Structure 1
Amino acid sequence: MIEVIGLTKRFGGSAAVDDLSFTVTPGKITGFLGPNGAGKTTTLRVILGLDRPTSGLATVHGVPYARLKRPLTHVGAVLDATAVQGGRRAEEHLRWLARTNGISPARIGGLMELVGLAGAGRKRVGGFSLGMKQRLALAAALLGDPEVLLLDEPLNGLDPEGIRWLRGLLKSLAAEGRTVLVSSHLMHEMAVTADHLVVIAGGRLLADMEIGRFVRPGMSLEETFMRVIEGSTA
């Protein structure tokens, strides 16, 4: 479980996240939605211990991420698929992550096949397309067989087949009882993938509910989302 409690993160005099609270529970896909600059990535970075909150708290399994032992065995994350050393081979990247978290490298071959990169393990990441880097980032996120997944725009660079594959993968992981939080701007995809929605704008919570309750009758998810965002700035 992920808990965000009264979270505020300021950069200078500006609040990227402002007294934000929500819970992400196991067994479902939670879509994390908001316009550009809403504070989604900042929130994910605080959850992962990459940014320190100005006030409030973000926990995984009841403790801050920094206190998790062998964190990749508890939390898998994709924040920036391009943030991999280009000269490193794909399998080397995964082996390094496995070694730092006490994970058996025996998982690597199966994961490379699962994410559609079988045969690319000896290739240097600098030659990968964005879609291939996204698949490698997903392999890294799954390396420790974590109970919690945080994914920021994981569909970037994926073709239609890849998007459909990832949708099925996320649904199967949630069905296993894992906690899955996905930030995305692709409303049509969230409409068929997410079970629950957390919607923010200006760093503040606008909605936290099942997708069926959020979408208004006769409207699409995108139309409802835009109506809610416009209403928050009126």
Structure 2
Amino acid sequence: MIEARGLSKRYGPTLAVDGLGFDVRPGAVTGFLGPNGSGKSTTMRLIMGLDRPDAGTVRIDGRAYHQLRRPLCEVGALLEARTYHPGRSAEKHLAALAAANGIARSRVAAVLDTVGLTDVARKRAGGFSLGMAQRLGIAAALLGDPAVLLFDEPVNGLDPQGVRWIRELMKSLAAEGRTVLLSSHLISEMALTADHLIVIGQGRLLADTSVAELTAGGRTLEEAFFAITGSSAEYRGVAPAEHRRQP
């Protein structure tokens, strides 16, 4: 489980994350929504230990990321698509990650098959399209067979078939009991993929609820999203009290 408590992060005069708190639980796809600049990517970087919070804590199964003994085997993440050497093949990129993290080489072929890159495994990744790069990033996230997974805009560059594949993959990973945090700007797709939603705006928690509750009364997720994010008021009806920003 991912537990964030009172997270704040400032970059110069910009307050990117402001007293943010939430839980991401196993066995469900948790969608992470917010307008551009709301602090979603910063929050994911804080979870992964790529940035330090100015205040607050974030724990993965009770530990900070830097305390994990074998990080890739406990947490997998796709935060940026092209995080590989362009001269390496997909196979060699994953093999290097496996060797550095004590992961069996057999996992390389397994994850390449899972993401549909087996036929191009020996081609230079520098020539990959954005969609193929996304698939390689997902393969890297799955390499250590982790229980916790974070995906930031994984459908970027994918055609409709690829988007559907992502949807089914996210659901299958959650069905295996994994913790899945999924960020996307495609609200209609999130309505089909997520079970639970965390919505933020200006770095603050606006909603922490199920998709079913947020869309109760017949409104679409898009309508609910704009109703929440279009106001500076907190969505107090469903945000757990212990996670709300205190005055």
Q: TM-score range by the shorter chain?
A: over 0.9
Task: Provide runs of 4+ in structure 1 moved above 4 Å.
Answer: none
- 1:128 counterpart = 2:128: yes
* Percent identical: 58
Partners in 2 of 1:55 and 1:173 — Cα distance? 32
Aligned residues of 1:85 and 1:125 also touching (Cα < 8 A): yes
Query: 1:72 corresponds to which letter in structure 2?
Result: L
Match of 1:157 in 2: 157
Q: Secondary structure at the match of 1:8?
A: strand
Pairs aligned (count): 234
Unaligned runs of 5+ in 2: 235-247
RMSD: 1.1
CA offset digits 1:132-188 (Å, max 9, x no partner): 000000000000000000000000011111111111111111011000000000011
**What amino acid is the match of 2:221?**
L
| Structure 2 letter corresponding to 1:112 | L
Q: Name the counterpart of 2:29.
A: 29
Show CA shifts across 1:10-55 (max 9, x none): 1112210000000000000000000000000000000000001001
SS at match of 2:38: coil
The correspondence of residues 127-146 of structure 1 with structure 2, limited to 5 A, is 127-146=127-146
CA distance in 2, matches of 1:62, 1:89: 36
In structure 2, give the amino acid aligned to 1:172: S
State yes or no: 1:96 paired with 2:96. Answer: yes
Q: Is the 8 A contact 1:216 1:224 kept in 2?
A: no
Q: Match of 2:72, SS? A: helix
CA distance in 1, matches of 2:198, 2:233: 18
Query: How far apart in 1 are the matches of 2:74 and 2:195?
Result: 22
What TM-score do you get using the length of structure 2 for normalisation? 0.93
Tell me the equivalent position of 1:107: 107
Gaps of 5+ in 1: none
Structure 1 distance, partners of 2:155, 2:70, is 27
Task: Specify the SS of the correspondent of 2:232.
Answer: helix
Give, as a single letter, the amino acid of the residue that structure 1 aligns with 2:111.
Answer: L
Question: Alignment partner of 1:232: what SS?
Answer: coil
Query: What is the identity, as a one-letter code, of the residue corresponding to 1:197?
Result: L
- Note if 1:13 corresponds to 2:13: yes
Separation in 2 of the partners of 1:103 and 1:216? 45
1:118 is matched with which residue? 118
TM-score scaled by length of structure 1:
0.98
The alpha-carbon deviation at position 111 of structure 1 amounts to 1.2
What corresponds to 2:242 in structure 1? none
Secondary structure of the corresponding residue to residue 168 of structure 1:
helix
